[in-house]
Structure 1
Amino acid sequence: MKIGIVGTGNIAVCHRQAYETAGAEVVAVADTADGRAARIAADWGVRRSYQDPAELFADDDVDAVSICTPNHTHASLAVDAIAAGKHVLVEKPMGRTYAEAVELQQAADKSDRVVQVGMVRRHATNCRALKSYLDAGMLGPIYYAKASCLQRLANPGGWFASKKLSGGGPVMDFGVHMIDLAWYLMGTPEVVTVSANTYDRLGARNNIWGQDRYRAADAGAGGNDVEDLANALIRFSNGASLAVDVSYSLHATSDRLGISVFGEKGGADLEPLRVATELADTMVNIDPVLSSTGFNLTDGFANQAKSFLAACRGETESAVPASQGAELLKILDMVYHSAANGREVAAE
């Protein structure tokens, strides 16, 4: 299968390497930045480059595309790609708002093209193992989950720090992963209410030195108007609940990452994977023997590419369909709406 990649920033590198691992060929790239697509195509040994994504979508040699651009273009570019007859793997989140996500979902529903949202952490070995335990009923019904990614110094700058371009801060960046993972492991129940808070007390902390940090490809452009920290309590129609907190900037003694689910027969931590249950009326912890019990970037992207390509070939359904991506954006919208209004909000 022949692939086109739209956007040639940091995440595009992961997509390109994953497609190579999965046995697909990247034959074209597009980037609106002047001259960038041609430079990347030369570096990658890719045949064709375009400054206008529409030209890539019109390329009959391209079967499927990855959308690896800033958030504000995800939905519109994906819709255009579908209209051009391409299968689409769109980076998370699939839009900045629920309205944008619904527009993309409607386009997907009217088409016979595969549309998959890039929730790459679902594809990691540790998550796949835990989901298999849950699907087998080993932990019983899940009634509570916690998801946390508290970073002390993680604002990447550039478009990530612009609400207009990104839709928000850590909630839209890695909060979307944290909420999605917990929600997915809980069985993707329907959201009922959200009570949330956001804070913008510390800013990007560009004054801090002596620490390495991830930087966007366009870091240094523009200012910062996104939240530093968000927390939320999300309630679902089956009575289950999810507590979430995520940050770009925080006076914490260390960075913290964790996903935990709690069921009637057992519970589990995902990062790293460990299971808690009972055996002969005693409490026991189980450490699965896996190649990686934490998130492995290479493994996750490779598995994501394989699953997308299998769906394109008609061998399976999309692992993260547009309908799930849209429901996730509904939750994120509710987080921001609740925080802005200082009260719990209900799903409409």
Structure 2
Amino acid sequence: MKKKLRVGVIGLGLGRHHLAGYVGNDEVDVVGIADVNGELLRTMAQEYHVPNTYTSYTDLLKSQPDLVSIALPNYLHAPATIDALKAGVHVLCEKPMAMNAAEAQRMVNAAHGNKRVLMIALNNRFRTEAQVLKKLIEEDVLGEIYYAKTGWMRRRGIPGAGTWFTQKARSGGGPLIDLGVHMIDLTRWLIGNPKPKSVLGATYAKFSDTEQGVIDVEDLAMAFIKLEGGISLIAETSWASHVPSEGAYVKLIGTKGGAEIIGDKLTIYTEMHGQQVDITPAYTPRAWADCIAAEIAHLVTCIRDKKTPMSTGEQGMEMMKILEGIYKSADQGKTIKIG
């Protein structure tokens, strides 16, 4: 019988969902949780029967877990991840990986230097419709994919106004780094993670005066991203904009067919026997919490079997280059070359 992995969770905001995923996994034991909020710590420990609580993540690391999830505010992702890797602990780090590409590079270096696994939590890759489409693409159903468009637009929904979430120095950005990161990553993953070559971006802050507290990040961003192989990707994302309702989508166009995911619905557009056809595959969509649980199960298996996880630190670093490039392009008003 395999020994269970000893697991800890650092940060219990979004991290509480990681905690639930670990508790539901038979191959791990949750040995500790860490958060600066003592009341939240006690509540989560009681609810999930966690034996040890810490108000400092460094104390949790001293207990020598095998794996930790890091779900702290964005500006703490890099230092906490590097500390964990140096302590010999595998890491599942929430998105965005870091504040910038330089921090991401240091995280990757720490993983390699300490021979530990670093996986970036990008749970949209574990959506059923995304995995179905990924298999169809690998089977060449769409042919050569040359154009893509993706987005996650909200009508209203500026999260945590006045907290670290809306402060550039601590979050790194607004909806681009919160929502856009998911959709850009999902799109690139579906088409084989082509490297970015250049970006042209724009950001807007038109609704910050409608909220309380400090908001010095954008509320809408868009970008034209040129990927290797001549692939073009257009991305858009907002926390607040005059659109009908909140929605997320991916659209792909290839030489043999096209595909779109809108919400949890996947449709394939192609031709059969000279006729245009629309195909809607049958599957059961995963709930968001189940995507996180699947993500965790995947990482646990990779650690046990010494395999590379689906979402690597290197891929996360490429994403940070894209995000950083979009913000730089928006500031300078010109195309930014990447790599």
Q: Same fold (TM over 0.5)?
A: yes
The reply to whether residue 84 of structure 1 matches residue 84 of structure 2 is no
Which residue of 1 is the match for residue 8 of structure 2? 4
Letter in 2 for 1:132: K
1:130, 1:184 → 2: CA distance? Answer: 11
Q: How many Å separate the matches in 1 of 2:267 and 2:216?
A: 38
SS at the partner of 2:248? strand
Could you tell me the TM-score, scaled by structure 1's length? 0.91
Partner residue of 1:165 out of 165, 170, 173? 170
User: Out of 73, 89, 97, which is 1:70 matched to?
Assistant: 73
Q: Distance in 2 between matches of 1:21 and 1:280?
A: 47
Q: Conserved in 1, the CA contact under 8 Å of 2:35 and 2:56?
A: yes
Contact 1:124 1:303 in 2 (8 A): no
Contact 2:20–2:48 (CA<8 Å) still a contact in 1? Answer: no
The alignment status of 1:236 with 2:240, answered yes or no, reads: no
Map residues 193-204 of structure 1 onto 2, 5 A cutoff: 193-203=198-208
Match of 2:276 in 1: 283
Aligned structure 1 segments of 4 or more residues deviating by more than 4 angstroms: none
1:175 to 171, 176, 180: 180
Letter in 2 for 1:159: W
Select which of 312, 320, 323 maps to 1:329: 320
Could you tell me which amino acid in structure 2 is paired with residue 29 of structure 1?
I
Offset of residue 256 of structure 1? 2.7
**8 Å contact kept, 2:10–2:71:** yes
Contact kept, 8 Å, 2:16 with 2:44, in 1: the verdict is no
Give the 3-state SS of the residue equivalent to 1:160 in structure 2: helix
Alpha-carbon offset, residue 12 of structure 1: 1.4
Asked whether the equivalents of residues 234 and 243 of structure 1 are also in contact (C-alpha less than 8 Å), the reply is: yes
Contact (CA 8 Å) 2:23, 2:48: kept in 1 or not? Answer: no
Q: Percent identity?
A: 35
Give the Cα separation in 2 of the matches to 1:194 and 1:203: 25
* Counterpart amino acid of residue 245 in structure 2: S
User: Once the two structures are superposed, what CA deviation does each residue of 1:181-230 show, in whole Å capped at 9, x if it has no partner?
Assistant: 11111211111110110000111733xxxxxxxxxxxxx7x521110100
Query: Letter of the aligned partner of 1:194 in structure 2?
Result: V
Q: Which residue of 2 aligns with 1:255?
A: 246
Q: Once the two structures are superposed, what CA deviation does each residue of 1:222-249 show, in whole Å capped at 9, x if it has no partner?
A: 5211101001000012100100000011
Let me know the Cα RMSD of the aligned residues: 1.5
Residues 153 and 205 in structure 1, CA contact (< 8 A), matched pair in contact too:
no
Unpaired runs of at least 5, structure 1: 207-219
The residue number in structure 2 matching 1:217 is none
Q: How many angstroms does 1:315 deviate by?
A: 4.9
Paired residue for 2:145? Answer: 142
Q: Which residue of structure 2 aligns with residue 28 of structure 1?
A: 32
